[in-house]
Copies of this chain bind each other. A is one copy, B any other.
Amino acid sequence: MNVAYEEMIRQFERVLVKYGITGQDASISAKLFADASRDGVHTHGLNRFPKFIASIKNGSVDVTKRAVPVESYGVLERWDGQRGPGNLNAYLAMNRAIELAGNQTVGIVALRNTNHWMRPGNYGLMAVEKDCIGIMWTNTVPNMPAWGGKDAKLGNNPLVLAIPHASSPILLDVAMSMFSYGKLEKYKREGIGCPVDGGFDSEGKLTRDPDAILSTHQVLPIGYWKGSGLSLALDLIAATISGGNTTRGVGQLPTETSLSQFFMAINLSSFPDREQLEREIANTLEDLKTSEARNGQTLHYPGEGMMKTREESLKNGVWVDEEIWKGVLEA
């Protein structure tokens, strides 16, 4: 079924207030959840909401705390998330990076001790709305083996690269694992294989069988050894610049909390050739479309499909999983 976007925000807000997130923060958090569902990222919108409420109940998210600045180095600031709500912390951090970039072209906030930020792309969209390039990533609990190993030593460490472009930004939002565990579960439920190799089976062979991967817990990094290296480097950079936990450190805690994140904004409005830059972005995206397609596939740039889903959602309501939505209404 579909639910009006505004109604979705209203219901999220009502529940958040009940669990201690009040005032403007309730509106912001509700909108971040609703925006994810509106743009088609259901896993980190409505579908994640019950888990978020559970993390408040079990104490891993402290609703009374918010990210606060702790050290300042000009355009770079270190913030402490104090284990507050992850989406609000990320919102505050990105907002500050954008503010710094507004004054000084570049802004960086390195955030430690935070919680899961829900949909990564939300913070990229914040950047492009203010005409900024947005670059951000988070570390996670260990959930992926390093290349050559069997034990989960690395995080899947989602990375966002966002570039303003007219009304339809380029929004790349990619984890360093080929598929999330959620996606593997989905393939398993639907009885289909992964579209490409997704991990290793019990014999150490690459496989598309979601069930085999779910039983070994050996998901595949993007680009094999390359994604393994990328995950490690992103983790160490976020942890080092923020002064926070590495993925290894997070793995020693009872639940996934006290994460480290990196937020950077670069303000394109600073540049005198801003209009020419926009033209060349448009030229590049148009040029992509002139490519001959492989086997009837269609070429999209990252974020392009999202804008179509958003239009649909705003026109016909946001698609919801009825069971989960019912749970929100009754919460």
Contact B153 A288 (CB under 8 A): yes
Check B170 against A233 for contact (C-beta < 8 Å): yes
Specify the chain B residue showing the minimal Cβ separation from A298. B148
A196 to B206, CA, bound (A): 10
Contact A226 B287 (CB under 8 A): no
Query: Which residues of chain A from 254 to 298 have any CB-CB distance to chain B below 8 Å in the complex?
Result: 266, 268, 270-273, 276-277, 280-281, 283-284, 287-288, 290-295, 297-298
Please state if A301 and B232 are interface contacts (CB–CB under 8 Å): yes
A237–B163 contact, CB under 8 A?
Answer: yes
A223's partner among B223, B247, B270 (CB-CB below 8 A) is B223
A4 contacts B by Cβ under 8 Å: no
A249 & B280 in contact (Cβ 8 Å cutoff): yes
Contact partners of A50 in chain B: CB under 8 A? none
Cβ-defined contact, B294 with A200, below 8 A? yes
Residue pair B105, A287 in contact (C-beta under 8 Å): no
Contact A295 B204 (CB under 8 A): yes
Main secondary structure of the interface of A (DSSP, over half): mixed
Number of copies: 2
Q: Report the Cα distance A244→B35, complex, angstroms.
A: 34
Q: Pick the residue among B148, B197, B295, B300 that contacts A297 (CB under 8 A).
A: B148
Contact assessment for B161 and A280 in the assembled complex, using a CB-CB cutoff below 8 Å: no
CB distance from A135 to the nearest CB of B (A): 8
Report chain B residues within 8 Å CB of A108: 106, 266
Contact in complex: A293, B148 (CB < 8 Å): yes
- Please tell me if A229 contacts chain B, counting CB pairs below 8 Å: yes
| CA A125 to CA B246, docked complex, whole Å | 22
Q: A150-B293, A178-B224 are in contact. List 4 more A-B contacts (CB 8 A).
A: A148-B294, A161-B234, A178-B226, A247-B284
Give chain A's interface residues, CB within 8 Å of chain B.
71, 73-76, 78, 104-106, 108, 133, 135, 145-151, 153, 161, 163, 170, 172, 174, 178, 196-197, 200, 204, 206, 218, 222-224, 226-227, 229-230, 232-237, 239-241, 243, 246-249, 266, 268, 270-273, 276-277, 280-281, 283-284, 287-288, 290-295, 297-302
